Amino acid sequence: MNFKEEIMSLIPAFKLGLWNAWILTLPIIVLSIFAAKAFGERESGEGPFITKKEDAVSKREKQVFASHHLIFLASIAYSIFVPLKLGTLWFYGGLLIYVTGMLIETLALLSFYTTSVDKPVTEGVYSISRHPMYVGDFLFNIGISMCCLSWIFLLVAIIAAILEREIAVVEERWCLEKYGDAYREYRSRTPKWIGIPKSRKND
C-alpha cells in the first residue's frame, strides 16, 4: 500500500444509502426530543440547559453548551453519508454497545418522567450514577463508530464526553441551588459515573 492509499484508507466512505448510520442516529433524535421536553418541564425555563437567565451560566459555559449542540447536529448530518459495516464482528460488537447506551438513556428518561419536578431525580439508573444520560451518550457514540468503523464518530464520542463533563458541573450547580440539601445528600452517596466508585476525585 502506497502513501496515497494509506491516506485514503483513513477517510470513511461517503455515500447515500438505506443502510447508513442514520438508522442508528434516528432513535437518538427521538430520545433527545423527549429529553428536551423533560428538562424544560423540570427547569421551568430557568435552568442552565435553556439559559433564559443571562446570569445562569458564564460566557464560557454557554460556549460549551453551544459546542455540544453543534457536535450533536454535525454527527447527525454526517451519519446520513456513512455506511454500516453489516455482517462484520465490528458491527455486531458495536450494536451491542449502542443498544446498551440507548437502554441507559431510556431508563434515565423514565426516571425523569416518573419523578416529581419538585424533587431531584435519584431513582432508577440515577441511583448508580448522577449523570447516566452522558454515560449512555458515550456508549452509543462508541457503538456507532464501531458499526461504521468510523474514526470520526470515535472523535465525536471523545469530544462530546469532554464537553459533557463540563456541562455536568453546571447541571449539578443548578441542582444544588434548586434542591438544596436533598441533592447535596444524593450527591454525597452517588458516584458521578457508572462503574467509577464514589471518591473525592470523582465528586
Q: For residue 188, give the amino acid letter.
A: S
**% residues pLDDT > 70 (the chain):** 80
pTM of the entire structure?
0.82
166-176 confidence digits (pLDDT tens): 999 998 998 99
Nearest in space to 138 (alpha carbons), one of 110, 165, 170, 112: 165
H or E element that contains 8: helix 3-9
Q: How do residues 12-56 score in pLDDT, each as one tens digit?
A: 666 777 789 999 999 999 888 888 877 776 665 444 444 444 456
Confidence at residue 14, expressed as pLDDT on a 0 to 100 scale: 66
Distance between CA atoms of 138 and 201, rounded to whole angstroms?
20
What residues does each domain of the chain span? 103-194
Residues 48 and 55: beta-carbon distance below 8 Å: no
